[in-house]
Structure 1
Amino acid sequence: MKKIVRKLHRYLGLIFSISILMSSGSGVIHVLMSRTQSAPPAAKPSGALLDTSAITVTPADAFPDAPPAAINIRNIAGKPHYQAFIPGQREFTYIDATNGRKNPDADATYAREIASTFLGTDEIEQTDFLTSFNSEYIGIFRILPVYRFDLADGKGTRVYVSTVTGSVTRHTDDEKQFEASVFTNFHKLGFIPNKDARDWLLTILTGAAFLISILGIVLFFLTRPRKNKKPATGTTRP
C-alpha cells in the first residue's frame, strides 16, 4: 500500500505540477497587478452639461408609433437627445429633442464624445465595435455592446465605451494589457479559445492537484515513524 501511494503521489505530482506552478505564478501576478493596474473607470455619464431648456419635443410626440420600454436623455453634439430602448429592436433609437427628428448617427457620435471627454483629447480613432467578448475585453467587464477608441500616444492607450451607461467601461494600454494577458493565460488558460475545453481542462487540473494533496496526507500517515514497543520487564528463570 505504501509503495502504491508513494508512486501515485510522485508521478501524478510530477505530471500535474505545471498547473500548480501556473496557479501560484498567477497569484504573484495578481498581487503585482493590484499595484500597477488602475481602478475601473467610474460608471457615470460623462460629457457636457445637459441644456434641458432646449427640449421642445415631448417623449409622447417623439415616439407616437413605437412606445419605448425606457428613455434616457443624452447630450449629443450639443443637443439633448432621447435615447430609447424599443422592444424588438437591437439598436437604440435616438430622437433629437429639439426638433423631433431621428438621428441615426447619434450612437457613434455619443460614444466618441464619451471617449474624447475621458481621454481629454479629440485625437482618437474608433478601431472596433464589440457585440461579443474577446481575449482583451473579457466577460468580467459584463457590458456589451461597446465601442473601442485608440489614442496615438505611443503607449497603445485605448478605451472601451458603452452608450448604455454613457461611460468608459475599460481603460488600458499595451503595458497593462500585457500583464492582464499573462494573468489570464496562467490563471484561466486563456490561450485555449474554446470555453468548454478550457473549463474541462481547468477542472481536471484542479481536481488532480486536490488528489495529489490527499495522497500526500495519506502518505504522511503511512510512512510516519513507528514507536518501538519496550520489552516487558520481569524475571526469567535460569
Structure 2
Amino acid sequence: MTVSGFWAKVHKWLALLMAVQILFWFASGLFFAWFPIERVRSEHAKVELAAPPVPLDEAAAGLARLRGAGLAGAETVEVRRLLGRPVALLKPHGGRPVLYDLADARRLSPIPMNVAAQVAEADHSGNLRAARVSRVTEETTEYRGLLPAWRVDFEDGEGRAIYVAADTGQVTARRSTLWRTYDFLWGLHIMDWRGHEDFNSWLLIVATLLSLVMIIAGIVLLPSRLGVTGWLRRRRALRSHPGGSRGP
C-alpha cells in the first residue's frame, strides 16, 4: 500500500466514525455563536432597577433586635432588602443560611411559596404573574443552585422559569426554552449527554484526537486530490527524459 493509500483509508474510516459527532460540534457551535449568551441567560428579561440600600442606622437597629432575640452571631451577615423590606441573611459556619426581618427580628426562611412568587415576579420585567410554583429539592441538569428552592414558571411564550432559593429568598437561576436548547446542545458538544458538565472526559479527548488525525490525513491527501502530486510526477519524468516525446 502506498503512503497516499494509507492516509486515504485513515481519512475515510475516521470520517465515517466521527461524522455524527463532528456534525454535532458544528451545529452546536453555530447555535452558540448565533445566540448571545446574555439572551440565553434571560438577562434581557431581568429587571435592572437596584433596590435602595439599607441605611446604616436602620441596619444597626435591626441587628440589635436580632441580638436581643437571642442570636449570638454568624460567620457572615448580609444586609439587603427583600420585596422592599430590610432583611439580614446570617450564614453560620457549616450551616444553612437563615433570613431574618430586621424590622421585627422575625425569621423568614424558608420563605413560603407566595413570597417566592413575588420575588420572581419582581425579578421578571413586565407585569406577568406567576403561572405555577413548585418546590425543588434535588439537583437536575436545569438547576444546580441552592436547595431547597422554588421554581416559578411564567407563561410568556418563552418557557421562562425563575428559581428562588428558599433559605435566602434570592433568585439563583433563570431558565427558558432557549437555555434548555443551549444546555442540550452543550451536552452534545462536550459529549456529556447526562450531566452536561464534564468537558474533561476521556471520551471527548479520544474523539478530538481522532478528529485531529482525520484532519491531518486530509491535509496529507490534499496535494494528491488537487492534482499537484501528479503534476510534480510528470515534471520529474520530463526532467529525467528531456529528449522524450511530449506528445503532439
Task: Return the TM-score normalized by structure 2.
Answer: 0.68
Which amino acid letter does the alignment assign opposite residue 30 of structure 1?
A: F
**CA displacement at 1:46 relative to structure 2:** 6.6
2:167 is aligned with 1:159: no
2:142 is aligned with 1:136: yes
Maintained 8 Å contact 2:132/2:152: yes
**CA displacement at 1:147 relative to structure 2:** 3.6
Which amino acid letter does the alignment assign opposite residue 20 of structure 1?
A: I
1:149 counterpart SS class? strand
**CA displacement at 1:210 relative to structure 2:** 0.5
Give runs of aligned pairs for residues 1-238 of structure 1, distance below 5 A: 1-2=2-3, 3-34=5-36, 37=39, 40-41=42-43, 49=52, 52=55, 57-59=61-63, 61-63=65-67, 65-76=71-82, 79-89=85-95, 91-106=96-111, 111-119=116-124, 120-129=127-136, 132=139, 134-137=140-143, 144-145=146-147, 147-153=150-156, 155-161=158-164, 166-167=170-171, 169-172=173-176, 174=177, 176-177=178-179, 179-193=181-195, 199-220=201-222, 224-225=229-230, 226=233, 227-229=235-237, 230-231=239-240
1:228 counterpart SS class? helix
Which one is further off, 154-163 or 14-23?
A: 154-163
Which amino acid letter does the alignment assign opposite residue 228 of structure 1?
A: R
**CA displacement at 1:124 relative to structure 2:** 4.1
In the superposition, relative to structure 1, how do residues 130 and 66 fare at CA in structure 2: closer, same or farther (>3 Å)?
Answer: same
Maintained 8 Å contact 2:128/2:156: no
Deviations 1:55-102 (A, max 9, x none): 67442552455421222223346532211111121x211222122233
CA RMSD, Structure 1 to Structure 2 (Å): 4.0
Maintained 8 Å contact 2:53/2:81: yes
Query: What does residue 246 of structure 2 align with?
Result: none
Deviations 1:113-146 (A, max 9, x none): 32011233443432243663x33347xxxx5455
The gaps in structure 2 that reach 5 residues or longer are: 244-248
Which one is further off, 80-89 or 180-189?
A: 180-189
**CA displacement at 1:54 relative to structure 2:** 6.1
Task: Return the TM-score normalized by structure 1.
Answer: 0.71
In the superposition, relative to structure 1, how do residues 200 and 122 fare at CA in structure 2: closer, same or farther (>3 Å)?
Answer: same
Maintained 8 Å contact 1:94/1:107: no
Distance 2:83 2:37 in 1: 38
Maintained 8 Å contact 2:62/2:103: no
In the superposition, relative to structure 1, how do residues 35 and 129 fare at CA in structure 2: closer, same or farther (>3 Å)?
Answer: closer
The gaps in structure 1 that reach 5 residues or longer are: none
Distance 2:170 2:97 in 1: 13
